[in-house]
Chains A and B, each alone.
Chain A
Amino acid sequence: DTGVSQNPRHKITKRGQNVTFRCDPISEHNRLYWYRQTLGQGPEFLTYFQNEAQLEKSRLLSDRFSAERPKGSFSTLEIQRTEQGDSAMYLCASRDGGANEQFFGPGTRLTVL
């Protein structure tokens, strides 16, 4: 049994660079969520996919952020022109369509220098 996986686990980049993270949900989970967590805070919702359709985006998701789930399986989150304020843990969660419980991956920790 494989849970939610995320890659890379850690990413260090310089301000202004673009970064891309990948999330592989639990197989057959057609709902996928991205959250962002900063130090000392709980995760905050970024965006939500049902299959390949992006159904909801938070106002936290500025135009420098883009997320895709092209075949309804894995998802990518890209941040363009990174800023120091983007430093955070980026978490992916998935759930089955008939259930409410969300299961999280290990996260990708981004550090922007």
Chain B
Amino acid sequence: QKEVEQDPGPLSVPEGAIVSLNCTYSNSAFQYFMWYRQYSRKGPELLMYTYSSGNKEDGRFTAQVDKSSKYISLFIRDSQPSDSATYLCAMNTGFQKLVFGTGTRLLVSP
């Protein structure tokens, strides 16, 4: 069993929809949680960074962490075709290597 599980998708939504992306993890020592966006054949781009449980909002993006359930989410409001990419969750215990999910491919149609 992988330490971090993520549905690979693809997830197809119409423009303007609210998107929910999720990951579960098994290592209770993880404290820091990140979401990266990766366009095809490009490197991952850091979108959101959170510590421990709670919510963090940045523009159209909201990251949620529920450590009691070992479950993290990324919400995208008013999704745009330019949001079409693979979204990777990543986490670590702090100042260490990142452990990634497989990534969820998101397709936003105009």
Interface residues of A (CB under 8 A from B): 4, 6, 33, 35, 40-45, 48, 56, 89, 91, 93, 100-107, 109
Contact = CB atoms under 8 A, between A and B. Distances in A.
A42 B101 contact: yes
A89 B99 CA distance: 16
B60 interface: no
Contacts of B41: 89, 107, 109
B109 to A, nearest CB: 22
Interface string B31-55: 0101010000111111001000000
Given A100-B95, A109-B41, A44 B100 contact: yes
Nearest to A102: B98
Contacts of B81: none
A107 to B, nearest CB: 5
Interface in B60-110: 88, 90, 92, 94-95, 97-103
